[in-house]
Structure formats: structure tokens, C-alpha cells
Structure 1
Amino acid sequence: MTQETPDETAGTADGPGQVRVVLVDDHRMFRAGVQAEIGRTEETGVDVVGEAGDVEQAVTVITATRPDVVLLDVHLPGGGGVEVLRRSASLMGAADSPVRFLALSVSDAAEDVIGVIRGGARGYVTKTITGTDLVGAVFRVADGDAVFSPRLAGFVLDAFASTDAPPVDEDLDRLTQREREVLRLIARGYAYKEVGKQLFISVKTVESHVSAVLRKLQLSNRHELTRWAAARRLV
């Protein structure tokens, strides 16, 4: 597939080469950063028409504005990105101008990628993406293309190539999405401060999540946690 520039992309109701976008992320500062990076409409062709910080807000804003593309975080209060996809689809149905979703997340875990793609997202990029590349991804998704960060496409191909349903891991299912995110980073050797920086949360919050993970998995320390995660190929 070829990568298109904004000028080559089909126009929207707002004018040629312009894409209307809604930002969905539970970190206000991150939304502000993305807005500052890609929301300079005259330069980028991206018009940010709304923002939301949780599932309820997201569904309300998306159904009210009917954007071309939603930049959607995977982990959100109220049920996560998959819940936004499900509820938006049920409320909007088959619209003449479909809303397309591009996941934008700190997580590069296979289950997160596969979950939102099965839910209806057109692509998945991580938050390490540059502003220029993110603008390009937005336009490609608006045009109906599928966009993935390097290596993430392999997760999707493997998942959809298999006819067998993935095995259920009851231990992993006990953890919330945020706890899984913290688990992976701790298992990779990140210090609490580094985890907090990666996830935009405080060290105290990281400690609380680690304690919850250890309790739910009946583990004693981070060394046991690392072995547990490695055995399940989560790191």
C-alpha cells in the first residue's frame, strides 16, 4: 500500500485535504500535547473537533461530532477503548460517512492490539510515534487504509491467520488493563519512577498497582512477578 500525503487525500465536508479528529485519552496533558503537535489545521490539515478522557465522554463526543478519525487510547476509565468501539458502533450504526478509529497507546502488547482491531479499529500505533508520522497515519486511516507501528502488524496477522481461539488465562483475566500495563513494565526491569513516567501516573499509583498485581496473582515480590510474566510471554 502506498502512503499518501494530506494534499492527496480525499476531502471532507470541511474542505479538501482536511480531516476532523477526536482525541480520546485519559491524560489531559497528553491530549494537550497531541493537540499542539497535530492540531495546527493550516499546517497539518487536521482539525481537532473534540476531546474525551473516559468511555462516557468519548461516546458522547464521537456521536455528537461524527469525526473522520478517532485517536483512541486502549486503556480508559469506564471499560477501555474496546468499550468505546462497541458503544459507538451500536449508537451510530452504518453511517454514510463512517467514523474510523486509530488506536494510540503506550502499550505494545499483543492482546491489546488484537482486542481493539477485533473491536473495529483500523490501525494501532504506539505513543513513540512522531507528530509527522501521526498526521500521516490519521490521513491514511481516514482514507480507509490500515496503519500499524512496526512489528504490531505481525500480531494481527498471526491472530487472524489462526482458526483457534486464544486460550483463556484466568490469572491474567483477574488483572485490570492498567495493572497488566504496569506488570509488563515492571517485568521488563523498569523502576517505579520509570513506570510512572511511561504511563503518566505517580510513583504512589504505580506502587498501588504493583501491590494489587502481587495480591491477585499470589506472588511475593517483583522477581516472582518477572518469572510469571516471562512464562506467559508477556515481556
Structure 2
Amino acid sequence: MTKVVVVDDHAIFRSGLKADLEPDLLVLAEAATVEEAVAAIAEHRPEVVLLDVHLPGGRGGGGREVIEGSLALLGEVKFLALSVSDAAEDVVSVIRAGARGYVTKASSGAEISAAVRTVAGGDAVFSPRLAGFVLDAFGSTGIAVDDELDRLSAREGEVMRLIARGYSYKETAKQLFISVKTVETHVSAVLRKLQLSSRHELTRWAANRKLL
């Protein structure tokens, strides 16, 4: 059984989706807001989160914010974005945050079930039209950006994204379940490796490379 948490702010859609998922997918919990989703993921630690892109609550970041609030579990928990939207900015936003795939709500229960299994197995999956958006977005960053990111450890990358998005050291520490002192150490290392002198420069660096 693949363990799943379903996150969507429409109860009728959640019920319909649960009914349409194939029997080998076990829904552990449901959530309707950013806060409920982050709490459910932390409590149940599913293999896959079926995540609506547009959610109420939090800071208004929707599905992206849920992923950011679960950064400490990335890898253990995989995110499959599910939305009525096929807008390029929505697709790229959640993929940059850490989602492993993106399918539209027009997909059938069998198609979504297959996508969940694919993501649970460690592969990425996208509705056909959306794959081009992802290739364009990530191809446009270029090799030089990959080289710069490769200088950072996985944890430094997590800290970098949160700090660049405006999180305080204390907020970052809470999100990643580490101490403020550890955050400070990671930020210093990130700035040194990227040859930047301040958090403001880091934010500009990340924004220019569409990493926010």
C-alpha cells in the first residue's frame, strides 16, 4: 500500500478523489488549508502528498508554502501537485519548491493513481502539456547556475531558499527543526560559497535565477 495525504480546500473534490483512487493507495488523512496540510504531513509522514496548488491559509503561498513548511521531510515525503490550473507560473512555482510532479484535475482516477505510484517510486511525472513548461524553466537557468548550486549542501540549499524568501533566522530554524545558531552557520557558508556579502544580495541572486 502506498500511503497518501490528500490536500485540497474543496471537501467534495477530496471525497471524489478518494473514491477514484485505486485500492493500493491508502489515504491516511485530508487537509484543506496550508496549516492543516503541514500538520497532517508532519503527523502521518505519507509517502506521497496529493497537493492542490491554490490553498487558503498561511502566508498566501498555497501549495508551495506547504512544501516549504515540510522541507525537513523532503525525500521521505514526495509531493504531487494537482490543480485545475495549467498556467506555467503555477507549475514552475511548486516544482522549484520541491514537488516531484504536476497533473491537472482533468486527469482520470486511474491516471492520478498511476502518477502517485510513479512519484512514490522516485520518478517525476507531468501531464503532457506541462512537461514543456518545466523543461523550458529549468533549461533556461543554464549550466552556470547548476554549478553554483552544486557548491551548496542539501541543507544549505534549504536554508538558502527560506532566507532568500524573507524568512527570519528563527522562522527558518523552526521550519527545518534546527537551531538558530545552525541557521547562522549555514547562511555564512552559503554567502561565502556564492561570494555574496548580505541577505539582500542572496535574495537578488535567487530571484534572478528564479529560485524563489
TM-score (norm 2): 0.64
> What is the CA–CA distance in structure 2 between the aligned matches of 1:53 and 1:122, rounded to whole Å?
21
Pair 33,87 (structure 1): closer, same or farther in 2 beyond 3 Å: same
Equivalent residue for 1:81, pick from 63, 87, 95 = 63
1:123 has 2:101 as partner: yes
User: Is the CA contact 2:3–2:28 (under 8 Å) kept in the aligned structure 1?
Assistant: yes
Please give the per-residue CA displacement for 1:137-158, whole angstroms capped at 9, x wherever unaligned. Answer: 1001000010000110100000
Give the whole-Å Cα distance in 1 for the aligned partners of 2:73 and 2:109: 31
Supply the distance in 1 between the matched residues of 2:42 and 2:51 (Cα, whole angstroms).
14
| Matching of residue 29 in structure 1 with residue 7 in structure 2 | no
SS of residue in 2 equivalent to 1:44: coil
Give SS of 1:138's match.
helix
Give, in whole Å, the separation in 2 of the partners of 1:23 and 1:121: 14
Structure 2: which amino acid aligns with 1:115?
A: S
* Deviation readout 1:174-198 (Å, 9 max, x if unpaired): xxxxxxxxxxxxxxxxxxxxxxxxx
Residue 49 of structure 1 corresponds to 28
Residues 109-164 of structure 1: CA deviation (Å, up to 9, x unaligned): 00000000000000000000001111111001000010000110100000011138
Partner of 1:113: 91
CA–CA separation in structure 1 for the residues paired with 2:51 and 2:41: 11
Q: Secondary structure at the match of 1:121?
A: coil
Task: Work out whether residues 44 and 135 of structure 1, in 8 Å CA contact, stay in contact via their aligned partners in 2.
Answer: no
Q: Secondary structure at the match of 2:6?
A: strand
Matching of residues 1-235 of structure 1 within 5 Å: 18-38=1-21, 44-78=23-57, 79=60, 80-89=62-71, 92-93=72-73, 98-163=76-141
Q: Given that residues 102 and 123 in structure 1 are in contact (C-alpha distance below 8 angstroms), is that contact kept between their aligned partners in structure 2?
A: yes
Report the Cα distance in structure 2 between the residues aligned to 1:131 and 1:94, rounded to whole angstroms: 25
- Structure 1 unaligned segments of length 5 or more: list them: 1-17, 166-235
Distance 1:94 1:113, change over 3 A: closer
Are the aligned partners of 1:74 and 1:104 in contact in 2 as well (CA < 8 Å)? yes
Do 1:114 and 1:159's aligned partners in 2 also have CA atoms closer than 8 Å? yes
- Percent identity of paired positions between Structure 1 and Structure 2: 61
Alignment partners' CA distance in 2, 1:124 and 1:93: 19
Contact 1:74/1:81, CA 8 A, preserved across alignment: yes
SS for the counterpart of 1:151 is helix
Is the partner of 2:4 in helix, strand or coil? strand
Q: What amino acid is the match of 2:25?
A: V
How well do the aligned residues superpose, as a CA RMSD in angstroms? 1.6
Q: How many residues align?
A: 140
Moved over 6 A (4+): none
**Highest Rg: 1 or 2?**
1
The 1-side partners of 2:73 and 2:125 are apart by: 23
Q: Secondary structure at the match of 1:129?
A: coil
Q: Distance in 2 between matches of 1:31 and 1:94?
A: 23
Distance in 1 between residues matched to 2:73 and 2:38, nearest whole Å: 13
